[in-house]
Amino acid sequence: MSIPLHHVDAFADEPFTGNPAAVCLLPERTSDERWMQLVARDMNLSETAFVSPRSDGFDLRWFTPAVEVRLCGHATLASAHVLWESKRLAADATARFHTLSGWLTARRVADEIELDFPARVAVEAPVPEGLEKALGAAPLFVGRSADDYLVVVADEKTVRGLKPDFVSLRELPVRGVIVTSRSSDARFDFVSRFFAPAAGVDEDPVTGSAHCALAPHWRARLHKDALVGWQASARGGRVSVVVTGDRVLLRGRAITVARGELVSITS
């Protein structure tokens, strides 16, 4: 037996930008976490998604090359894209995923995909010891969300110029560190980068789940429910966000760049 495997660039307006994810379409749910972790390690992308059918939607799990994560935006967007593209889900149907973060949904809106995710509000927190030195920049604000630190710095030039000490960042008691500022480009409201060496990803190219913290943070300061962020990694990607209550709607595009089969299905 072989398993379909798709390589998708998510939050990408053209191929080979945004954040790449592998989407593995399983015929049924598996609890073999060791096997999924080995597959993710071999794929060596920031996330590999494992999708399996259930009576009321799909099970979805996400693995970096090193660990399983509780929430991932770009691999969810990629998974929904693959389900529609492969006709496992009708073009006008909502994708419903059962995950470690509860039920998540995705739907098509024109030429984009909209994800409905939980907000991750970053509450102001003391500056962790060693953070400023590890980033090489002075924080104007530090907040702590359920998953990450959110760090505001002076300007976009500072965000883009960061060369973090990943060894030091790995010691922080969080999944990762989101660094952000206002955008100097009128097309965007804010820019960000995301570093998660503790999860096996030194810098994630475009991070949907980080925008679950970025969106409420910038909404409170810019007094806008709808915003557009640019994640300023080497690949780069645009994420449109809308804050609605305790949820964040994330929009972006996805592009399949490769399809194949996984033929080694045992660990």
Q: What is the dihedral of CA 15, 166, 42, 73, to 10 degrees?
A: -50
Alpha carbon of 191 to those of 72, 123, 236: distances in Å?
19, 19, 10
Catalytic residues: 47
Per-residue pLDDT, 163:
97
pLDDT (tens digit, 9 = 90+) per residue, 99-133? 999 999 999 999 999 999 999 999 999 999 999 99
Band (pLDDT 50/70/90 cuts) for residue 183 is: very high
Alpha carbon of 157 to those of 79, 160, 162, 259: distances in Å?
34, 5, 9, 38
The structure's pTM equals 0.95
Structure tokens at 43: 């794929």
Q: What is the mean pLDDT of residues 18-45?
A: 95
SS3 42: helix
pLDDT (tens digit, 9 = 90+) per residue, 56-75? 999 999 999 999 999 999 99
pLDDT (tens digit, 9 = 90+) per residue, 73-93? 999 999 999 999 999 999 999
- Which percentage of the chain shows pLDDT scores above 90? 97
According to DSSP, residue 111 is labeled: T
- Which percentage of the chain shows pLDDT scores above 70? 99
Distance CA 118, CA 33 (A): 25
Return the amino acid letter for 109: V
Band (pLDDT 50/70/90 cuts) for residue 213 is: very high
pLDDT (tens digit, 9 = 90+) per residue, 127-163? 999 999 999 999 999 999 999 999 999 999 999 999 9
According to DSSP, residue 266 is labeled: -
Per-residue pLDDT, 254:
98
Structure tokens at 130: 């060693």
> Cα–Cα–Cα angle for 144, 61, 5, nearest 5°?
130
pLDDT (tens digit, 9 = 90+) per residue, 225-262? 999 999 999 999 999 999 999 999 999 999 999 999 99
Per-residue pLDDT, 98:
98
Q: What is the mean pLDDT of residues 202-222?
A: 98
Residue 168 has pLDDT above 70, yes or no: yes
Band (pLDDT 50/70/90 cuts) for residue 266 is: low
Residue 248 dihedral angles phi and psi, to the nearest 5°: -125, 130
Per-residue pLDDT, 67:
95
Residues, the chain:
267
27-39 burial: b if 16+ Cβ within 10 Å, else e:
eeeeeeeeebbbb
- Strand spans (E) along the chain: 3-10, 19-25, 47-54, 57-63, 68-69, 95-99, 102-109, 112-118, 123-124, 141-144, 148-152, 176-182, 190-196, 201-204, 226-231, 237-244, 247-252, 254-262
Per-residue pLDDT, 267:
54
